[in-house]
A and B are shown apart, each in its own frame.
Chain A
Amino acid sequence: MKTLHIDVVIGLAILLFSIVFYSLSAQIPADPAVFPKLILSILALFSLLIIWTGVSKTLSAKKERLKNIPIFKHARGPAVTFIALCVYLALINLLGFFTASSLAAIFFMFYFGVKSYIQALLVVILMNTFVYLLFVWQLRISLPTGLFI
């Protein structure tokens, strides 16, 4: 797997996706299924093209003895960011929008490298004030509440 170009893996994933969703389209009545089936058929064709491109890239890299550079080499930061986002969204219903947002903002600031507590606190206060004034006060949006606001 290590020597394969990422396009081969992506192409196979798209092909699998097309097959699964095409079979799901088979359960839809004929008329509303026409367009999805057409799209999925073309998508499957393109996936074969991507696989073919990936295979030729793999072969040429082997020929030229090039090292395969992993695309997701620095994936730890994005993974932590995404997990933190998911936790933040879960906390919104539990703690309320403003409390969860404040905690998330503090986490993101320190994770991304803010060192000053005062700076972080100032950003949290200004951000919450802005969101409150624009969305709650001006546009009358009722943001989710939980144990707190």
Chain B
Amino acid sequence: MAIDTTLLLSVLAQLASPDVLLMLVVGVLGGIFLGALPGLSATMGIALLIPVTFGMQPVAALVLLAAIYASAVYGGSITAILIHTPGTPASAATAIDGYQMTLRGEGLKALGTSTLCSVIGGLVSVVALLLLAPPLAQISLRFSAPEYFLIAIFGLTIIGSLSSGAMAKGLSAGLLGLLISLVGVDVMTAYPRFTFGVAELESGISLIPAMIGLFSISQVMIQAEKLHGANNLTSQTPTLSGNLFPSREEWRKLRRTISRSSIIGVVVGALPGAGGDVASWVAYNEAKRNAKNPVSFGKGDIEGLAAAETANNAVTGGAMIPLLTLGIPGSAATAVMLGGLYIHGLQPGHELFTANAHIVYAIIVGLLLANILMGVVGLALAKQVVKVATVPFAILAPIIVVLSVVGSFTINNSMFDVYVMAAFGLLGYLMRKTDFPTAAIVLAMILGAMAEIGFRQSLVMSKGNMLGYYFDRPFSLLIMGLILLALVSPLIVRWKRQKSQHAI
């Protein structure tokens, strides 16, 4: 591949300017901070900062937003690991094994592994963004309504198959999430559905307040159980000693998981609509499927943590591929970033890579630098960050509640969103108590609109023969195969396990 020296020099000159460097540092620190605080997410941070970037140069502004995006995904894992409160939906899978490691006294190692895996995932994704954007964009160009619908269904079946032993509950939670995503004015006919005359419901139920309620408030309620139960709150304070890095043997074991999860993250990220949350679940599922001891997953397995962490950061670069080439956001955060591009007069597509190449490549290289800086800052601050976990929950509880309220309010400057957050907090608590995966609702809310539009458009396009239409499309067939695999593989694995137990 020929390198345009003039372009390269122009990119480097822009990145070396003090305001861009300052925004890079602010973005990384701010992103980790935003992601780590329960209730604050990358999407929210980007949305809140877009108005702040109005007066900046496009490169400085977009490097800031990209750095926040990458670092917040990583920062969200810190609270997921330490206090079982994922800062972002992408960290929901991280919380499973990360928190178990913390409870086992390996919180420091979980943080170190998370940092390294996030950096590797992020760097692989940026390299992929630089090299693979054109061919992947070609594939995305062939995607139509049926494929979008099937991608959404694939994401939901992954969640269902992850709810071990309770697939019906996992899929039911997904369906409930899809139903919640339908609340509001129908995008195709403008007819209000399930709004019950409430004007605020016409624009739908906001994802971020729902997510804050499901993850943060439900966590406070779960912790409150220990006030009158057998366990004392103070006994939950994790022991944070030992090594920051995984041992050489563990590292050897992780190499394959990291490689696989990086690829999953980039590919899922590049698929429109499927973001870090989907990628981390897919990678987690794959790591579990390929593990020698899948039973240890969910009980503090370092492979589970590495898979989720690598994949959710590998999504950042991957999600930028459809965003920059087609203007289709790969995740909720990149959807908000699309707004940032437009505000700075940048139109995604072919022109962005030709006429505005000096800007777009500066943003991409800026994202690469942000990932490196994120690792350095993460490792340097890991020991300080873990102090968050030594703060008694009695101190954290009011902070989580107040930040959840202010975070939900900030989305639309509306108290209605705060009430939504509280309602979802109760729902999240009840779901967690009855073994329904809360992440399935969040994922379905993200994928809901894409699933419905894809379904209804393909219904029209198929002219009555929907099945035949789907089977005629190679990409649809491929995704349908993946869905079937996600549904059937847990059953086969269980059957095989039972068979081998009987044999013994």
Contact = CB atoms under 8 A, between A and B. Distances in A.
A97 B405 CA distance: 9
Nearest to A85: B422
A121 interface: no
Contacts of B398: 104-109, 112, 123, 127
B393 interface: yes
Interface string B394-409: 1101110111011001
Contacts of A108: 394, 397-398, 401
A46 B191 contact: no
A109 B394 contact: yes
A59 interface: no
A125 B221 CA distance: 24
A87 to B, nearest CB: 11
B172 A46 contact: yes
Contacts of B422: 82, 85-86, 89
A105 B194 CA distance: 35
Contact of B182 (A35, A47, A78): A35
A127 B175 CA distance: 38
Contacts of B418: 89, 92
Nearest to B395: A123
Interface stretch (B107-115, B225-233, B288-296, B336-344): B225-233
A113 B226 contact: no
B222 interface: yes
Contacts of B83: none
Given A85-B425, A86-B422, A53 B168 contact: yes
Contacts of A82: 221, 422, 425-426, 429
A49 interface: yes
A46 B168 contact: yes
B137 interface: no
Interface in A103-149: 104-109, 111-114, 119, 123, 127, 131, 135, 138-144
A77, A92, A109: residue with the most chain B Cβ atoms closer than 10 Å: A77
Interface string A69-86: 001111111101110011
Contacts of A88: 401, 405
A126 to B, nearest CB: 9
Contact of A10 (B217, B406, B434, B455): B434
Contact of B233 (A76, A89, A113, A140): A113
B410 A42 contact: no
Interface residues on A, range: 35 or more
Contacts of B186: 32
Nearest to B217: A85
Interface in A5-59: 6-7, 10, 14, 21, 24-25, 28-29, 31-36, 38-40, 42-43, 46-47, 49-50, 53
B243 to A, nearest CB: 32
Given A32-B189, A77-B227, A42 B194 contact: no
Contact of B225 (A74, A85, A105): A74
A50 B459 contact: no
Contacts of A76: 227-228
A71 B434 contact: yes
A72 B433 contact: yes
Nearest to A107: B398
B176 interface: yes
Nearest to A28: B193
Closest 4 CB pairs of A and B: A77-B224, A112-B394, A105-B398, A78-B221
14 contacts: A29-B189, A34-B459, A36-B179, A39-B175, A53-B168, A71-B433, A71-B434, A75-B225, A77-B226, A77-B229, A112-B227, A113-B392, A113-B394, A131-B406
